[in-house]
Structure 1
Amino acid sequence: MKKISLRQGAERKLLNGIHLIDSKDIADQSLDNAWVEIRNVKGEFLGIGYLSQQNKGGGWVVSRQPVKIDAQFYETLFSQAWGKRQSYHDDQATTAYRLFNQDGDGLGGLSIDLYGEYSVFSWYNEFIYSQRDLIIKAFHKAIPQVKGSYEKIRFKGPDHDSRHIFGQEAPETFLILENGVSYQVFLNDGLMTGIFLDQHEVRARLVDGLASGKKVLNLFSYTAAFSVAAAMGGAAETTSVDLAKRSRELSQAHFEANGLDLVNHRLVVMDVFSYFKYAKRHDLTFDVIILDPPSFARNNKKTFSVAKDYHKLVEESLEILQAGGLIIASTNASNLSLKKFKEQIEKGFGERSHDYVALHQLPYDFQTNKKDESSNYLKVFTIRT
């Protein structure tokens, strides 16, 4: 195993519990895609990790102690991760959740989700992908309950972004349960699966009646999972808006899976800012508005960045929100701190009175590194006006 030295000052981050290695902190910039023994400038041992470029950084620390990286190492990680999620395994109302979450479970660069009897591996860099055969074998030895597996490639490399890799193949589409609600998912059609599992606690509040009797507007709705949860929780009507044409078909499948009549649930294919203009022109108002945009988007030469532009969504929403209404403000931008996100929200509200009712971050199945704020990337505020 090759040895690397961290630049002076970088040692403090590691000792404070940060597992992500920043490329600029490494003295030898030529080394990549390798297991490494990490030392400080004095030559003292700091940990075991690997180097590989990905969108978040240049590598990961996987152990502060000398350890042999072999099949047993991975089996132990997967067994421990499975044990932490026993309450999810026992919950008959939920059959889809995260089984393994990167550095929160001891191995940055890899996440594994469960959809019924099937698992989905997401690989985030070239090196961890090069370990896939050993990792997959160890996973299925540690967790034999999983009947088949798929993978998603979330870095530039292989010529595919999704494929079946192990065991039984899943149907092209099938239903999973979350909080007692059915959702149609697909495991081998691009990087998406039909639902974002990290939002299941927010959807649980909607199922439990947060939007009961209310008119709900769900913006950047993707497959309208928030809308379906609200409808199952007694919402009087929902409107789901997304620019992607396919969103209508995928959203309709979720409603139909739960026997929900679409008469009171509209699916709109439109740019969100265009919909704001449409709603104001037609005097449409809502009791609950859900704002969950992508971190960055480009449309007709216009760009949207959560870090710079989220306040515009809040400003526009307030013009069509009923007095006493709720805004559910959400982002999954890991590069935006909770403080900075709240500043964007406050900028949108301006002088208008409002109260923060709740904050949701990643649920328990999405284990995080408690020492690294960016590990807990999800931030969802429920705000009453």
Structure 2
Amino acid sequence: MKSEISIKVTDKYKAEYAKGYPLITKEALENPEALQNEGSILKLTDKQGRFLAKGYYGLQNKGFGWILTHDESETIDQDFMERKLATAIGRRQAFYSNLETTAFRVFNGEGDGFGGLIIDYYAGFYLLSWYSEGVYTFKDEIIAALQNVTECKGIYQKKRFDTKGQYIEEDDFVTGERGEFPMIVKENGVNFAVYLNDGAMTGIFLDQRDVRNTIRQKYAKGKTVLNTFSYTGAFSVAASLGGAAKTTSVDLAKRSSSKTIEQFSVNGIDFETQDILVMDVFNYFKYAKRKELKFDVVILDPPSFARSKKYTFSTSKDYTNLMKEAIAITERNGVIVASTNSASFGMKKFKGFIDKAFKDLGKKYSIVEEFTLPSDFRVQKEFKEGDYLKVLFVKLG
């Protein structure tokens, strides 16, 4: 049985928690020094000792833990987790029955009622991501609960924490049968090679499913497409299958080349007809300007923070300048797919970055498509930060 600690909440946050805000922050607590062992159950009360909510203590970059229930009599045990998982799986039944898409999110942290835990489905296998030591203390109960409420070929995990609260790249086979990698999953009929046993990343970001499909269905045919920060080339594959005249994929990571070749190959596309470049994206922009290259579609999906030998990139500070670089090599009436996964600002501010780039250059534009997280990435309305993905299809005037 986990220990339960009574913690008093400041008056300011008392109202927030009453409304359903799920994140336990240091600023919300009157006596944070009482917190010692991650994984402890926290009983949150107001200053008068009246019950507000129950959660757990788990340090991650966002805060001190997550609220799990507003019912004082509810016990945080395996039965509790089975109820949460069964509800989440029930919400995704349309995905389970879709043979054209065999990789999707099953449990999206606080959006499904248990912050710090992510569960993704890959063609019969489940991948659990733990975001704090605190949530990891629930591992045995959560895995048993998952096995009780659904059929699993096998379960893998990724621990995205260390004792200092930083992210680390680690993964592990947990139980069931081991997968054969690369594992081929489908997304709207497109094949993707994924690895559940190879570092922090699997080879595809599932949250961009709708964006890839839109590029393939509506924007790629006959177009030249530049995919920057291309990772394993998933956007390039979507564009190529949508009839793009040619794709160019650019990423600084050396592995990006072999991974992109693999993604083209599992879809029967001759990778030698595409350009795959391992180089700094900012250096590529300079090269493209020097060679007077222009593209019909430019995809900008940088990490929130990145560092190379010459450049440090932060979305909140540098996206406007990145956008200017893209505008300079985009054809008239071309489209820039501007994307960010930064949770530190909302869509309004992101649109401001785009607007400033065009105004500074004296150019006109229109936003023709707008995306946030797909439906399997369930978001809690009281926690807007959870809807981190922002994608705009920007047409040049």
TM-score range, shorter chain: over 0.9
Match of 1:369 among 361, 373, 380: 380
Q: Tell me how far apart the structure 2 counterparts of residues 199 and 356 of structure 1 sit (CA, whole Å).
A: 18
The SS at the match of 1:288 is strand
| Equivalent residue, structure 2, for 1:5 | 8
Partner of 2:247, secondary structure, is strand
Q: Note if 1:151 corresponds to 2:157.
A: yes
What is the aligned counterpart of 2:293 among 278, 281, 284? 284
Please tell me the residue identity of whatever aligns with 2:373.
Answer: L
1:44-193, aligned counterparts within 5 Å?
Answer: 44-66=50-72, 67-143=74-150, 145-157=151-163, 161-193=170-202
Structure 1 vs Structure 2 CA RMSD:
1.3
The answer as to 2:250 corresponding to 1:247 is: no
- Return the alpha-carbon distance in structure 2 between the equivalents of residues 90 and 300 of structure 1: 46
1:290/1:327 contact within 8 Å kept: yes
**Aligned-partner SS, 1:79:** helix
Q: Which amino acid aligns with 2:28?
A: D
Which of 10, 27, 52 is the equivalent residue of 2:30?
A: 27
What are the residue-to-residue correspondences of 1:331-346 with 2, within 5 Å? 331-346=340-355
1:37 aligns with 2:43: yes
> Does the CA-based 8 Å contact 1:231-1:238 persist in structure 2?
yes
Sequence identity (%): 43
Name stretches of at least 5 consecutive residues in structure 2 with no aligned partner: none
Structure 2 CA distance for aligned equivalents of residues 142 and 184 of structure 1: 27
**Are the aligned partners of 2:125 and 2:153 in contact in 1 as well (CA < 8 Å)?**
yes
Tell me which residue corresponds to 2:275: 266
Matched, 1:352 2:359: no
Which amino acid letter does the alignment assign opposite residue 44 of structure 1?
A: R
For 1:211, give the aligned amino acid: A
| Aligned equivalents of 1:52, 1:96: Cα separation in 2 | 28
Per-residue CA shift, 1:141-192, capped at 9, x if unaligned?
A: 111x221011111111499710101111001312100010001001111100
TM-score scaled by structure 2? 0.94
CA distance in structure 1 between the partners assigned to 2:306 and 2:169 by the alignment: 23
The one-letter code matched in structure 2 to 1:29 is P
CA distance in 2: counterparts of 1:17 and 1:382, whole angstroms: 33
Q: Which runs of 5+ in 1 are unaligned?
A: none
Corresponding residue of 2:209: 200
Cα shift readout 1:77-101 (whole Å, capped 9, x = no counterpart) = 1111111001101111000000100
> In the alignment, residue 14 of structure 1 is paired with which amino acid?
Y
Counterpart residue identity of residue 249, structure 1: S
Give the aligned partner of residue 329 of structure 1: 338
Measured in 2, the distance between the counterparts of 1:219 and 1:11 equals 44
Partner Cα separation in structure 2 for residue 298 and residue 267 of structure 1: 21
In structure 2, the partner of 1:218 is: 227
1:53 shift after superposition: 1.1
Deviation at 1:222, TM superposition (A): 0.1
CA distance in 2, matches of 1:173, 1:148: 15
Aligned residues: 384
Q: Which moved more, 1:200-209 or 1:326-335?
A: 200-209
Using the TM superposition, name which of 191-200 and 345-354 deviates more. Answer: 345-354
SS in 2 for 1:10: helix
Report Cα offsets for 1:11-53 as digits up to 9, x if no partner: 1221232101111211122214210111112222111111221
Q: Counterpart of 2:171 in structure 1: which amino acid?
A: S
- 1:23, 1:146 → 2: CA distance? 37
Q: Any idea what the Cα deviations from partners look like across 1:49-90, whole Å, max 9, x if unmatched? A: 112210111111111112111111111111111110011011
